[in-house]
Structure 1
Amino acid sequence: MKINENTLLEGKQVVLVPYNAEHVPRYHEWMKSPELQQLTASEPLNLEQEYEMQQSWREDDDKCTFIILDKQRWADGNAGEEQCMVGDVNIFLTDPTDPSLAELEVMVAEPSHRGKGIGKEVTRMMMSYGVTKLGVKQFEVKIGLDNQVSIAMFKKLHFQEVSVSKVFKEMTLEIRVDDLVRAKLLHDTAHMKERDYGQTCRNRQELVSK
């Protein structure tokens, strides 16, 4: 999606940046993992296909993708973005007749960064972006039944279970963004800063949010 091609979102633990070609090799290595393939219901791609996928995600009007970076490591300026990557987050506009409906996907690919609240922070950040920039009014997530950690996280964020597919072995949860949900979401992400990606990258060490 073109809308976020020069957008950086700064949170407390993470920085979200557009999915660029430089991120593809690390992403490709992640997706060789049978565990991540299962958790994301993904088929393995070769490197060339991964580059094509990255380009299509950048161009398609119904997909909005950010790469999750470890903020502390990224802000010190000594590591390349690929070395700071810990996962990705996506919004898919699933209904061509209603752009206010969106499917949300969050992947914390690096095991060392799981269990630290990153998934919850990223989810809130992406929901806030979806609501304020894309006009999303209802979010849906589809999670494998074996992924009880993610199911529990989304329920804590007040997503409600709506169905279980025994065939696909996944649960669907959703949340409608009414005035109350919107107000709480914006309150919980009041610390989030939206920055110019290109400008910020040119001087990473000035990234300060305390």
Structure 2
Amino acid sequence: MKINENTLLEGNKVVLVPYNAEHVPKYHEWMKSPELQQLTASEPLTLEQEYDMQRSWREDNDKCTFIILDKQQWADSSVEEEQCMVGDVNIFLTDPTDPTLAELEIMIAEPSHRGKGIGNEVTRMMMSYGVTKLGVKTFEAKIGLNNQVSIAMFKKLHFQEVSVCEVFKEVTLGMTVDESVRSRLLEDTADMKERDYRQTCSNRREQVPQ
């Protein structure tokens, strides 16, 4: 999605950046994992297909993707951005007749970064972005029935069970964004900073010791 191609979102533990070509090799390595393939219901792709996917996620109007960076690592300007990658988060506008309905998907790919509240923070940041920038009024999350950690996280964020599909072995959780939800989201993400991505990258490179 073009809207976020120069957007950086900074939270307490993470930095969200646009999914660029330089992120693809590490993303491709992640997706070789049978565990991640199962958790994300994904098929393994070739590196060339992964680059094609990255381009489509950048260009398509129904997909908004950010790469999740570890903020502590990213704060060290001598560390390459790709080395700070820990996962990704997506909003898919799945219904052409209803642009206010969005499917939310999050992946913490690095095992060492799971169980630290990162998924919770990223989900709230992405929901806030979806509500304020994309006009989302209803969120859905489709999660494998065996992924109890993700199901518990979304329920903790007040998502409700909508349906269970035994064929695909997944549960759909949903949330309607009324005024109270919107207010809570904006309050929860009041510390989130939105920055110019290219300018921030340029400033970060200038800080690297020569």
Distance between the aligned counterparts of 2:66 and 2:98, measured in 1?
A: 22
Partner of 2:81: 81
Using the size of structure 1 for normalisation, the TM-score is: 0.97
Letter in 1 for 2:64: C
Does residue 92 (structure 1) correspond to residue 92 (structure 2)? The answer is: yes
The SS at the match of 2:124 is: helix
Tell me what 1:30 maps to.
30
1:97, distance to aligned residue in structure 2 (A):
1.1
Answer yes or no: is the 8 Å Cα contact 1:75–1:205 preserved in 2: no
Q: Is the 8 A contact 1:76 1:205 kept in 2?
A: no
Write out aligned runs for 1:10-29 (5 A): 10-29=10-29
Whole-Å separation in 2 of the counterparts to 1:54 and 1:2: 12
Q: Deviations over 1:86-141 (max 9, x none)?
A: 00000000111111000000000000000000000000000000000000000000
Which residue matches 1:104?
104
Whichever residue aligns with residue 110 of structure 1, its letter is: E
- Which sits farther off after the overlay, 143-152 or 74-83? 74-83
Alignment partner, residue 2 of structure 1:
2
- Counterpart secondary structure, 2:39: helix
CA distance in 2 between counterparts of 1:206 and 1:67 reads 22
Question: Matched residue pairs, number?
Answer: 207
SS in 1 for 2:67: strand
Q: Secondary structure at the match of 1:122?
A: helix
User: Offset of 1:81 from its aligned partner?
Assistant: 1.1
- Partner of 2:82, secondary structure, is helix
TM-score using structure 2 length = 0.97
Match of 1:123 in 2: 123
Aligned-pair CA distance for 1:206: 9.7
Structure 1: which 5+ runs fail to align? none
Q: State percent identity of aligned pairs.
A: 83
Distance in 1 (alpha carbons) for counterparts of 2:110 and 2:75: 18
- List gaps (5 residues or longer) in structure 2: none
Name the counterpart of 2:141.
141
Question: How many angstroms does 1:204 deviate by?
Answer: 2.5
Matched, 1:174 2:171: no
Query: CA separation in 1, counterparts of 2:181 and 2:196?
Result: 28
Distance in 1 (CA, whole Å) between partners of 2:133 and 2:33 is 33
Aligned residue in 1 for 2:199: 199
AA partner of residue 33 (structure 2): S
Shift in CA distance, 184/80, structure 1 to aligned 2, threshold 3 Å:
same
Q: Using the alignment, how far apart are the partners of 1:57 and 1:11 within structure 2?
A: 23
